[in-house]
Structure 1
């Protein structure tokens, strides 16, 4: 813990969180007029010709303290997850859990007569270890042999894997993985639908070694990588062509270097999950005689094993802290399934939009093309984001949701999240709880801050069409000013800022 980090305390009162000011704000100043100071920050020449949306509200009364371009329709990037997460907690419930189960129509002694069914409802927390535990439950029932096939039932959701308007060049990267009701996460970040590709150097001049984790035959490896001289630069490239199942690893990786692991998406997430489960069954002594295929679980099949995920209130932490796109899209389909009986974007997105309108957002100003904010068709306004942030403070689930937002300057990855390295050593550190957002030409920061008098504020800053890289320092300067610092307190960020959320590039 850094000595200059300052935390705020939170007190739960009647379903809301009452924010208290830091006891000793670091580098606190006596700021001038709010409008003058924020106008000066937003006068940055990088914003010449840009679309600027900014609003500050009193969190208790909703009164607007500052507004500039608040009604302009902008691309919100990952700030859209504010809407998706709030709708999920309200419509699915904070205690909602995803279920994964194993079924059979007939079991005689140690043999499943017919097929064995693996049924999913979209659980993004299913890792290889969870599938192993399911297989252990099946084995514990005395099952040693399946006469028929292993049937992967992903019918809880539709078969549309990615929105048609996502950039095709993104689809091999884990932040744009395909969505299925049966999926595998390769890590504790729950990057569902992806696999770890690890490159290990051999002896100089020899091929580099490539391995997948979890192991699967659904993805093929074309290993063209060689081992370069010790200390030589890495030129390794890892690519999966759109529509293909082969990951090509090429280039040179230096001898003696530590293994390199990258994530790549799996085009057939359902079959990937079934393959991981089938391997787990084999490890526990359960042999499947037939093939693996997709299908539907019969209504009267008996349950042999089951697993429930953590509640949504806990899942919201990695979802928002790390800006996890796949969890967002899974929640959209889950909402559609619950509200309209169809696990699809077409069913879920209108339900979320209706929920957002119920919080005071006028019809016609919101357009949701996905739940994560990865789509460039998404539109909202900074004013509406601010209004929603003020409104959700009255929800029973708000304390858990507030804690799930990234915290400025907190180096703990599961506390600071996408704000872990920002605003350190300023009055905003440990004070600002906010959702970040970054796409090429779009950056956003919206959330909560307590001013030096102890008054909780809501703010939203969304910038589109600026010059150069994402001007995160402008967002930070506004948040620091609201926390009681001087407008110049924010360090400038590099002009070559990433075009995507730092968690999507694993830079947090």
Structure 2
């Protein structure tokens, strides 16, 4: 219902935009939206500028600080197009050191990241993990390398050590929507935790697996079984670069193979 109301409001605004003075109509539209019961505890900001004259057409709460949520992606996407250009492509480098004798690399493999947010993502055909691994394997085969004598290194030092903005809340950063951005990212820095709930409210919940597999030395499981059909009310608490965390909240009774999504604390360690 909320989405429908906002769409109607947007349509109304676009229809009246050609009139000489739209400020009163914008004001009445905003007030109508705010009078809806679903907006009872909401705060709204709306700022309209004439792109030809830079004249402020309408201003409602433009100086009030608001949490932008996913709307912020519009601004960051526009900034990326403007600064980097639409032809920009992220890169991830595969390199070697040492010497090659016959089919053996007497050295190590180095994978260096430069911030590609799509590396190993399930979302796009060309970025799926199996295709990334196939491309790396093909590159080594072209050098006739079958055996690596030393190590495989993942280099994530081209970005600052701090992967998260300061001020992000503790309740968010262990969950998928609070994932950080590293020089070397993987699977959108997200993993699934597979759970089995009990049959009755209050029962303990078992952690079955992590997908993809991750190195976690300890995950203190405080999860409980909730009511049937109560939804995902679980929260993961796990800081960047750590292997110790805990999980709280509830998942619905009777659910087996129930998945919740968390943020990877150190994505490059998950690639291998």
The corresponding residue for 1:214 is 212
Segments of structure 2 that go 5 or more residues without pairing to the other structure are 8-13, 16-21, 121-128
SS at 1:175 equivalent: helix
The corresponding residue for 1:178 is 180
Question: Is 2:76 the partner of 1:84?
Answer: yes
The corresponding residue for 1:158 is 160
- Tell which deviates more after alignment, 104-113 or 239-248: 239-248
Question: Is the Cα–Cα contact under 8 Å of residues 238 and 247 in structure 1 kept in the other structure?
Answer: no
Alignment match of 2:236 (pick from 234, 239, 251): 239
SS at 2:116 equivalent: coil
More strand by share: 2
Question: Is the Cα–Cα contact under 8 Å of residues 219 and 266 in structure 1 kept in the other structure?
Answer: no
Shift of residue 56, structure 1, vs aligned partner:
3.3
Shift of residue 123, structure 1, vs aligned partner:
0.9
Question: Is 2:83 the partner of 1:109?
Answer: no
The corresponding residue for 1:120 is 113
Q: Which deviations, in whole Å up to 9, do the C-alpha atoms of 1:356-386 show, x marking residues without a partner?
A: xxxxxxxxxxxxxxxxxxxxxxxxxxxxxxx
Alignment match of 1:54 (pick from 46, 53, 57): 46
Q: Which deviations, in whole Å up to 9, do the C-alpha atoms of 1:47-66 show, x marking residues without a partner?
A: 99997643334556655443
Question: Is the Cα–Cα contact under 8 Å of residues 174 and 265 in structure 1 kept in the other structure?
Answer: yes
The corresponding residue for 1:487 is none
Alignment match of 2:194 (pick from 184, 198, 202): 198
Question: Is the Cα–Cα contact under 8 Å of residues 178 and 265 in structure 1 kept in the other structure?
Answer: yes
Shift of residue 122, structure 1, vs aligned partner:
0.9
Question: Is the Cα–Cα contact under 8 Å of residues 103 and 117 in structure 1 kept in the other structure?
Answer: yes
Task: Measure the CA separation in 1 of the matches of 2:41 and 2:232.
Answer: 38
Segments of structure 1 that go 5 or more residues without pairing to the other structure are 8-19, 22-30, 186-191, 279-508
> Compared with structure 1, are the counterparts of its residues 209 and 159 closer, same or farther at alpha carbon in structure 2 (3 Å cutoff)?
closer
Q: How does 1:235-314 map to 2 (within 5 A)?
A: 237=234, 239-242=236-239, 244-246=242-244, 248=246, 254-255=253-254, 257=255, 259-272=257-270, 276=271, 278=272
Shift of residue 271, structure 1, vs aligned partner:
2.3
For normalisation by structure 2, the TM-score amounts to: 0.67
The corresponding residue for 1:398 is none
Question: Is the Cα–Cα contact under 8 Å of residues 194 and 263 in structure 1 kept in the other structure?
Answer: yes
Q: How does 1:439-454 map to 2 (within 5 A)?
A: none
> Compared with structure 1, are the counterparts of its residues 208 and 168 closer, same or farther at alpha carbon in structure 2 (3 Å cutoff)?
closer
Q: How does 1:349-428 map to 2 (within 5 A)?
A: none
Q: How does 1:420-499 map to 2 (within 5 A)?
A: none
> Compared with structure 1, are the counterparts of its residues 139 and 115 closer, same or farther at alpha carbon in structure 2 (3 Å cutoff)?
closer
Task: Measure the CA separation in 2 of the matches of 1:34 and 1:139.
Answer: 64
Alignment match of 1:34 (pick from 25, 28, 48): 25
Task: Measure the CA separation in 2 of the matches of 1:268 and 1:171.
Answer: 13
The corresponding residue for 1:136 is 137
Question: Is the Cα–Cα contact under 8 Å of residues 103 and 145 in structure 2 kept in the other structure?
Answer: yes
> Compared with structure 1, are the counterparts of its residues 59 and 265 closer, same or farther at alpha carbon in structure 2 (3 Å cutoff)?
same
Task: Measure the CA separation in 1 of the matches of 2:56 and 2:23.
Answer: 18
CA RMSD between the two structures: 4.4
Q: Which structure has more RCO (C-alpha within 8 Å, separation ≥ 6)? A: 1
SS at 1:259 equivalent: strand
Q: Which deviations, in whole Å up to 9, do the C-alpha atoms of 1:284-314 show, x marking residues without a partner?
A: xxxxxxxxxxxxxxxxxxxxxxxxxxxxxxx
Shift of residue 41, structure 1, vs aligned partner:
2.7
Task: Measure the CA separation in 2 of the matches of 1:60 and 1:252.
Answer: 53
Q: Which deviations, in whole Å up to 9, do the C-alpha atoms of 1:160-215 show, x marking residues without a partner?
A: 22223222332112222222111112xxxxxx222111224699999745111122
- Count how many residue pairs are aligned between Structure 1 and Structure 2: 238
Question: Is the Cα–Cα contact under 8 Å of residues 154 and 180 in structure 1 kept in the other structure?
Answer: yes
Task: Measure the CA separation in 2 of the matches of 1:69 and 1:184.
Answer: 39
Task: Measure the CA separation in 2 of the matches of 1:33 and 1:87.
Answer: 32
The corresponding residue for 1:369 is none
> Compared with structure 1, are the counterparts of its residues 57 and 162 closer, same or farther at alpha carbon in structure 2 (3 Å cutoff)?
closer
